[in-house]
Amino acid sequence: MDSLTFMQDRNNQMQDPILTDEVYSADEIEHVWISSIQLSDFRNYSSLSLRLRDAHVVLSGANGSGKTNLLEAISFLSPGRGLRRVSYPDIARENGPGSWAMASELHGDYGETKLGAGLQPGPNGDLQRRIRVNGANIKSSERLGDHVSILWLTPMMDSLFTGPASERRKWLDRMVLAIDKSHGSRVNAFEKAMRQRNRLLDEAPHETVWLEGIEAQMAEFGVAIATARSELVSLLIQSISHLHSAETAFPMAQVGLNGNLEEKAFLMPAIECEETYREQLVQMRGRDRAAGRTLEGPHRSDLAVNHVGKEMPAAKCSTGEQKALLLGIVLAHAHLVAKRNQKSPIVLLDEVAAHLDETRRLALFDILDRLGCQAWVTGTDDPVFAPLGERAQRFIVDNGQLTPVLSEEGDR
């Protein structure tokens, strides 16, 4: 069974009533938006304090001015290493003290929440990672997902369909994480166990008791990962369908999963699937030892995407078509996240909207408005965003400094 047929069959069996409502209805969904942000020694920002109203945010300026850096700061309000996937020390301002901090206030229908992250001196003077919720330190960034979901599309993702499968898996796992905050821990636990097994097969292949324990962990976490991924893709199929039924500004994508474990998880109960995968790992010890890696598991899965209108794989589409497909999937995911979490996500679009014609650009913001999402959008040319009027607050970014763009009425 091919991946797209498999996912369509799965989708037909698990229609989610949450997603069958009016696609753009924001009723009963908490509207969340960033009302302020402060930065200290973050990238090229020595200091920034920004107060915002309930509207989209447009950042315009030359390349290297700091637009993406500000989006990156916001991305640290979600679990993980941000949109550039870097370690905390790499973010500190050049020639700065080595520490950095970002703080924000989120405004929601039920009040305000203060979230922050940074690298700050500890009791012994060493720099330590800090994540805070309402002024209190928390141990895991997973807790951030209780308060807000941050979604993004950046130029780094332009080659997603033509690049290695590992990049598509990371994107898929981040989409899962937005509706299942424990998914990241499961992925990390599986990868840790897999590394232990690979090392043990190489150094002590006769330690069967130890191997059995590790393989049992891999089976448990692996099946949970495969199940979560396939459920996300099935929900995404529904969301894409609903989105496309109301909007035609962006091409419709058909998504599926290429993965033996995902298909097994669909066809059999979880316990049976775990046992089947565990037995497979035992049988493949010799092959895996010879290969120096584990040859079967969720780390080998891939996300398949087709352009429905052209009936061709996304990888064979033009660059412009691939970008439009990506944007459509991100919007469908935003709809899914809002419905599942009952809370609107923040959407970061880096150098995306500026490449659209005016009709598609306005259609993009129409969709975001009806989903109840605050979007942060970057571009090099501010005038192209002028038609947004009061729907957006616009800033010119220059060397880590922000200057507001006055509206024609001069009210800002």
User: Has residue 379 got a pLDDT over 60?
Assistant: yes
61 is in an annotated binding site: yes
63 is in an annotated binding site: yes
pLDDT at residue 279 greater than cutoff 60: yes
Q: What is the DSSP letter of 128?
A: E
In the block, tokens 């459509």 appear at 328
Q: What average pLDDT score do residues 240-262 get?
A: 88
Residue-level pLDDT at 4:
57
pLDDT at residue 9 in the model: 56
Burial 355-388 (b: 16+ CB within 10 A, else e): ebeeeebbbbbebbbbbbbbbbbbbeebebbeeb
Residue bearing tokens 């009952």: 342
At 21, is the secondary structure helix, strand, or coil?
coil
Q: Is 204 helix (H, G, I), strand (E, B) or coil?
A: coil
pLDDT per residue as tens digits for the range 71-109: 999 999 999 899 999 999 999 999 999 999 999 999 998
Q: Is the pLDDT score of 246 beyond 90?
A: no
- Specify the DSSP class assigned to residue 406: P
264 is in an annotated binding site: no
Looking at residues 293-322, what average pLDDT do you find?
Answer: 96
The structural domains of the chain, ordered by start, are: 3-23+33-404 (3.40.50.300)
Count CB neighbours of 102 within 10 A.
23
Residue 269 scores a pLDDT above 60: yes
Could you tell me if residue 92 is left (phi over 0), alpha (psi between -120 and 50 degrees) or otherwise beta? beta
Q: Are 144 and 131 in contact (CB under 8 A)?
A: yes
Q: Distance between CA 82 and CA 348 in Å, rounded?
A: 12
Q: Is 12 annotated as a binding residue?
A: no
As a whole number, mean pLDDT of residues 224-249 equals 90
On whether the CB atoms of residues 239 and 22 are closer than 8 A, the answer is no
Residue 133 has pLDDT above 50, yes or no: yes
- 67 is annotated as contributing to ligand binding: yes
- Residue 164 structure tokens: 């290695």
Which span out of 7-16, 273-282, 364-373 was modeled with the highest average pLDDT?
Answer: 273-282
Residue 38: Cβ within 10 Å count? 18
Mean pLDDT of the chain: 91
As given in the structure block, the two tokens for residue 313 are 């794989």
pLDDT of residue 110: 84
Q: Which residue has the tokens 């009791």?
A: 123
Q: Is there a binding annotation on residue 170?
A: no
Could you read off the pLDDT of 44-54 as tens digits, one per residue? 999 999 999 99
Cα(327)–Cα(173) distance, rounded to whole angstroms? 17
pLDDT of the residue at 357: 85
Question: Is 141 flagged in the annotation as binding?
Answer: no
Q: Say if residue 372 carries a ligand binding annotation.
A: no
Most trustworthy range by pLDDT among 27-36, 137-146, 271-280? 271-280
